[in-house]
Amino acid sequence: MTSAYVPEEAKFVTGIQAIRSPRWPFGRDTFYKMVRNGLIHKHHPYPGSRPVFSVAQIDGIYTPESATVSGGQNT
């Protein structure tokens, strides 16, 4: 299986691109489980098209913990 490069400026990806990308650490089962549970929403660019998924939404789930917690001590 080859990996799929997702450029930084990409706004949407297909399910296969998201699964194969080294940018996110999940497999097929986990990805579609997140879709079923409503963590990742499907978007249809036009009626009858394949669904695409928001890169920003997926990135929001996989933000490194150190990036979301500010450092420092409580005094």
Residue 50 belongs to domain spanning: 12-62
Structural domain count, the chain: 1
Is the dihedral angle over the CA atoms 24, 14, 41, 57 positive or is it negative? positive
| pTM of the complete model | 0.76
Cα–Cα distance, 18 to 3 (Å, whole number) = 10
Domain for residue 48, yes or no? yes
Domain for residue 27, yes or no? yes
Domain for residue 55, yes or no? yes
Cα angle 29, 53, 67 (rounded to 5 degrees) comes to 85
Domain for residue 6, yes or no? no
Domain for residue 35, yes or no? yes
Question: Helix H segments across the chain?
Answer: 15-20, 28-36, 55-61, 65-68
Per-residue pLDDT tens digits of the chain, which is 75 residues long = 667 778 778 899 999 999 999 999 999 999 999 999 999 999 999 999 999 999 999 999 987 665 555 555 665
Domain for residue 44, yes or no? yes
Domain for residue 70, yes or no? no
Residue 42 has what DSSP assignment? E
Domain for residue 26, yes or no? yes
